[in-house]
Structure 1
Amino acid sequence: MFTAFWSAYPARNGKKLDKEETFRRYCLIAEAELELVNTAAKNYADSEMIQKGIGIKDPKRFLLDGKGHEYWRQWIEPENKRNDGTNKQNAKRSHEPGEQDPFDKLGKDC
């Protein structure tokens, strides 16, 4: 499930930082909410401001910032004004296609 989140999440300044810390925070989320988190990441990536590269949060802060806010909850529903719906971010893979991502624990086995 984490792999789906990481793939959907947009890069900030061409990079995705702190994968291990993001994974740790992802594992703190209730298993019943993980699909919502992944949906929120996709909606966030598809939003107009993110498509323009404006205000992209690091993924760890999207999940839980230093003040205890779960920013992802604001993105469970897609924004009202949608662009063409495509995710134009081209994140680099940390593994080869078909190879299991070492951070994907096949579910919630964090």
Structure 2
Amino acid sequence: MEEHIVTNELKAEPKVAGKVFISTFYFLLFYGVVFYNMRIFVHGSLMVPYAIFTVVTGIFLTTPSLFNRKRKMYQSIFLLLKRSKVVYRPVPNISADRKREILLERYKGEQ
């Protein structure tokens, strides 16, 4: 009897061009419009650094998050700001950290 693997749900986000997802494209479009309109508040001699800062920040915000691989950095920052302060946060396991330190000391002692 043959076994078949069946996919329950195939979730693929549409792409605009190459590796750029449509949600990233819309975010960059909104981001660009906002910062383009804010250029009137920047002195003329600072326009080049402002443009460089805007591009670098836009690229940073659209990179995958370090803490949540399924989200972009701007989504992670939004969730961080929106999160509830009342929710329980686990305390780090100090005994596991101590065991790691002991193992490292033993390893250094053997060399």
Q: TM-score, normalised by structure 2?
A: 0.29
More helix by share: 2
- Greater Cα radius of gyration, structure 1 or 2: 2
Higher RCO (CA 8 Å, separation ≥ 6 residues): 1
More strand by share: 2
